[in-house]
Amino acid sequence: MRNVAKRPPFDAEALLREYEKTRNPVLRDQIVEAYLYIAAIIARRFSGRGVDYDDLYQVASLALFKALERYDPDRGVKFVSFVTPTMVGEVKNYFRDRSRLIRLPRRGGELLKDLEAAREELGFALRRQPTADELADRLGVSVEDVLEALEMRGAAAPVSLDTLPSEDDESAPLSAYLGVEEGGYGEFERSDELERAMEQLDQRQKEIIRLRFFENRGQREVAEKIGISQMTVSRAERKALEILRQLLSKGE
């Protein structure tokens, strides 16, 4: 079961308050796991620009972990509104940092080789992409070493963070299909509004949207998983997106 597809539990705010008091690592892991779907959305939003989705997912996941440690529920700001801009900022910083040419030292090359093997092994065992923390634990190195190795993976020319893919591109983010302005990105995911809108979809529509936009799967893969034709997936997706567009536009 993919953790990135999970939505926050109903008592998420209660868990956040309890964690703020106790710093219980079990609660921390539950909260991070519940909100990993945001990392998946952000990674999808910025993928296809010279950086792998998996790398962006790990950067966003680490930012989620760090943001949780700074979150104060007594300030009256919802957790999603607090962490999403932080995660987006970390991903943008990652792009800017790797836009410089980096010479890969020998140790970095060896670590990167081990990192790729560990990611494949953990991905198979966990049935999802491992986080930077999990990779660090497997390799016996720090999270910073893992992120540094990912940055060294290859030097890339500067990319524009404001260029959206065309709407007929399967890599386009959900916001592009819904016609919602990015506005700091956290505002679009407007988590409460989106969740309420999603509740108006039927079960198949929910499943298709979840697989397509929260698990980063193509229409053909979704069709095979559900056991229907790709044409049926395409039609159901278009109908679901139209419903979401109408509902979200009413809420503006």
Question: Residue 157 is which amino acid?
Answer: A
Are 184 and 175 contacting, i.e. CB atoms less than 8 angstroms apart?
A: no
Alpha-carbon gap, residue 176 to 164, rounded angstroms:
8
Alpha-carbon gap, residue 133 to 137, rounded angstroms:
6
What secondary structure letter does DSSP report for 252?
A: -
Cβ count within 10 A of residue 61: 28
pTM exceeds cut of 0.85 = no
pLDDT along the chain (252 residues), means of 10: 45 85 89 88 80 86 91 87 88 72 50 81 77 81 74 41 37 48 42 74 88 76 88 84 76 50
The domains of the chain, with CATH numbers, are 3-151 (1.20.120), 190-250 (1.10.10.10)
Provide the pLDDT for residue 22. 92
Residue found under tokens 């159901």: 236
Are 208 and 240 contacting, i.e. CB atoms less than 8 angstroms apart?
A: yes
Provide the pLDDT for residue 103. 42
